Amino acid sequence: TMRSYPCLLGIRTFLGVTSRIWGFIMYILRKHLRTIIQYQTVRYDTLPLSPISRNRLNAVKRKILVLDLDETLIHSHHDGVLRPTVRPGTPPDFILKVVIDKHPVRFFVHKRPHVDFFLEVVSQWYELVVFTASMEIYGSAVADKLDNNRNILKRRYYRQHCTLDLGSYIKDLSVVHDDLSSIVILDNSPGAYRSHPDNAIPIKSWFSDPSDTALLNLLPMLDALRFTADVRSVLSRNLHQHRLW
């Protein structure tokens, strides 16, 4: 019995080490798979405009696309909180370290599939503006990561620019520009744009689904919308969708 004890101990040690190695391999595989899904080759051909389309585009003002962050372009959780929507062990796309009320906090940020490609394309069509109800110290760090030195997310608005009403933050688009005919807001929360529903494109909240294609699906609409004189003439027809999310 005494002789078998070291043998059992050795087997347990071997199994423990093997389990940790296997766990690490699975972590790397999951991270690699998410990278493939996130950055897989996707196509939305931005073909040269016809003379008629070019003239029409020149006749209207360049539009502004206002982008929400959390659950629209990204999803994050912080130290000590692991939401059930993110499977334990799912690697984040990046980690932010910020100080809130003198306490260091780490945010584990997951990017919505195709967000980099989406931003690259729509930045050619619109002036992009970030408008988040999050605190500036967090929202600014997220926007910096998404911008990735491309200088496409220059204008940003945060919690202090929202209007607090009955415990919820409302985004007043007149803060961004006084001409509402040329502003589109993409936000997963209808409450955030309830003052301007005719300017909104609804999008389903995203947490962790790696097969999500919502951002890609919006490209044809955003492509066409930039040719309209008043975006509200088109987006007002979306009102029935705002209740879906």
User: Which CATH number do you get for residue 124?
Assistant: 3.40.50.1000
- Looking at the structure of the chain, the number of domains it has is 2
What is the pTM assigned to this prediction? 0.81
Q: Which of 45, 70, 187, 223 is catalytic?
A: 70
Same domain, 121 and 232: yes
Distances (CA, A) of 64 to 19, 37, 67, 148, 207: 51, 29, 10, 20, 26
Supply the pLDDT for residue 17.
67
pLDDT bin (cut points 50, 70, 90) of residue 4 is low
Q: Considering the domain boundaries, does residue 91 fall inside one?
A: no
Supply the pLDDT for residue 204.
97
Q: Is the pLDDT of residue 76 over 80?
A: yes
Same domain, 55 and 161: yes
198 is known as an active-site residue: no
Contact residues for 143 (Cβ-Cβ < 8 A; gap 6+): 69, 130, 153, 156
Q: Return mean pLDDT, the chain.
A: 85
Q: Considering the domain boundaries, does residue 135 fall inside one?
A: yes
212 is known as an active-site residue: no
Beta pairing class for 183-187 and 163-165: unpaired
Same domain, 122 and 165: yes
pLDDT bin (cut points 50, 70, 90) of residue 221 is very high
pLDDT bin (cut points 50, 70, 90) of residue 98 is very high
Length of the chain: 245
What is the average per-residue pLDDT within 156-176? 95
